[in-house]
Structure 1
Amino acid sequence: MEVCYSNLLKETDASIITEGACGFGDLHKTSFGKYSTGLSGMLFNRGSSCGACFEVRCADNMLWCPQRSPSIVLTATDFCPPNYGLPADFGGWCNFPRAHFQMPEAAFSLIAQQKADIVSVQYRRKEGIRFTLKGSAYFMQVLITNVGLDGEIVAVKVKGSRTGWVQMGRNWGQNWQCNTNLAGQPLSFEVTTASSITLASYNVAPPNWKFDQTFLGKQFQH
Structure 2
Amino acid sequence: MANLIFFIALLVLLLPISAALLDAWLTDANATFYGDMYGGGTMQGACGYGDLYKQGYGLETTALSTALFNNGYACGACFEIVCRNIPGWNYCKKGSIVVTATNFCPPNYGGGTGHWCNPPYKHFDLSMKMFTTIAEYRAGIVPIYYRRVPCHKQSGVKFELKGNPYWFMVLVYNVGNAGDVYGVRIKGSNTGWLTMSKNWGQNWDIRGNLVGQRLSFLVTTSDGKTLELEDVAPSNWQFGQSYEGKYNF
Q: Give the shorter-chain TM-score range.
A: 0.5 to 0.7
- Give the Cα–Cα distance (whole angstroms) in 2 for the partners of residues 101 and 58 of structure 1: 12
Deviation at 1:122, TM superposition (A): 1.2
The aligned length equals 202
More helix by share: 2
Taking the TM superposition and a 5 Å limit, the aligned residue runs for 1:76-115 are 76-83=102-109, 85-86=111-112, 91-115=114-138
Go from structure 1 to structure 2 and tell me whether the alpha carbon gap of 1:169 and 1:28 turns closer, same or farther (over 3 Å shift). Answer: same
- What TM-score do you get using the length of structure 2 for normalisation? 0.59
Whether 1:54 and 2:45 are equivalent positions in the alignment is no
Deviation at 1:84, TM superposition (A): 5.6
- Give the Cα–Cα distance (whole angstroms) in 1 for the partners of residues 52 and 181 of structure 2: 23
Go from structure 1 to structure 2 and tell me whether the alpha carbon gap of 1:152 and 1:27 turns closer, same or farther (over 3 Å shift). Answer: closer
Match of 1:213 in 2: 243
Match of 1:11 in 2: 36
Deviation at 1:159, TM superposition (A): 5.1
Match of 1:176 in 2: 205
Match of 1:126 in 2: 150
Partners of 1:190 and 1:201 within 8 A in 2: yes
Go from structure 1 to structure 2 and tell me whether the alpha carbon gap of 1:182 and 1:85 turns closer, same or farther (over 3 Å shift). Answer: same
- Give the Cα–Cα distance (whole angstroms) in 2 for the partners of residues 10 and 207 of structure 1: 35
Identity %, equivalent residues? 20
Go from structure 1 to structure 2 and tell me whether the alpha carbon gap of 1:85 and 1:108 turns closer, same or farther (over 3 Å shift). Answer: same
Go from structure 1 to structure 2 and tell me whether the alpha carbon gap of 1:207 and 1:124 turns closer, same or farther (over 3 Å shift). Answer: same
- Give the Cα–Cα distance (whole angstroms) in 1 for the partners of residues 53 and 233 of structure 2: 29
- Give the Cα–Cα distance (whole angstroms) in 2 for the partners of residues 70 and 198 of structure 1: 28
Q: Secondary structure at the match of 2:45?
A: coil
Deviation at 1:54, TM superposition (A): 2.3
| Structure 2 letter corresponding to 1:213 | Y
- Give the Cα–Cα distance (whole angstroms) in 1 for the partners of residues 233 and 110 of structure 2: 52
Give per-residue Cα distances to partners, 1:112-150, cap 9 Å, x unaligned. 2222221223131533895424259x897432356999x
Is 199-208 or 17-26 further displaced after alignment? 199-208
What's the C-alpha RMSD, in Å, of the aligned pairs?
4.3
Match of 2:21 in 1: none
Partners of 2:158 and 2:242 within 8 A in 1: no
| Structure 2 letter corresponding to 1:56 | E
Taking the TM superposition and a 5 Å limit, the aligned residue runs for 1:14-25 are 16-25=41-50
| Structure 2 residue ranges without an equivalent (≥5) | 1-24
Deviation at 1:175, TM superposition (A): 1.9
Match of 2:12 in 1: none
Go from structure 1 to structure 2 and tell me whether the alpha carbon gap of 1:104 and 1:157 turns closer, same or farther (over 3 Å shift). Answer: closer
| Structure 1 residue ranges without an equivalent (≥5) | none
Whether 1:70 and 2:70 are equivalent positions in the alignment is no
- Give the Cα–Cα distance (whole angstroms) in 2 for the partners of residues 34 and 152 of structure 1: 21
Deviation at 1:192, TM superposition (A): 8.4
| Structure 2 letter corresponding to 1:157 | R
| Structure 2 letter corresponding to 1:175 | W
Whether 1:39 and 2:64 are equivalent positions in the alignment is yes
Give per-residue Cα distances to partners, 1:162-200, cap 9 Å, x unaligned. 7885214438333235627226xxx4515488xxx9642
Go from structure 1 to structure 2 and tell me whether the alpha carbon gap of 1:84 and 1:48 turns closer, same or farther (over 3 Å shift). Answer: farther
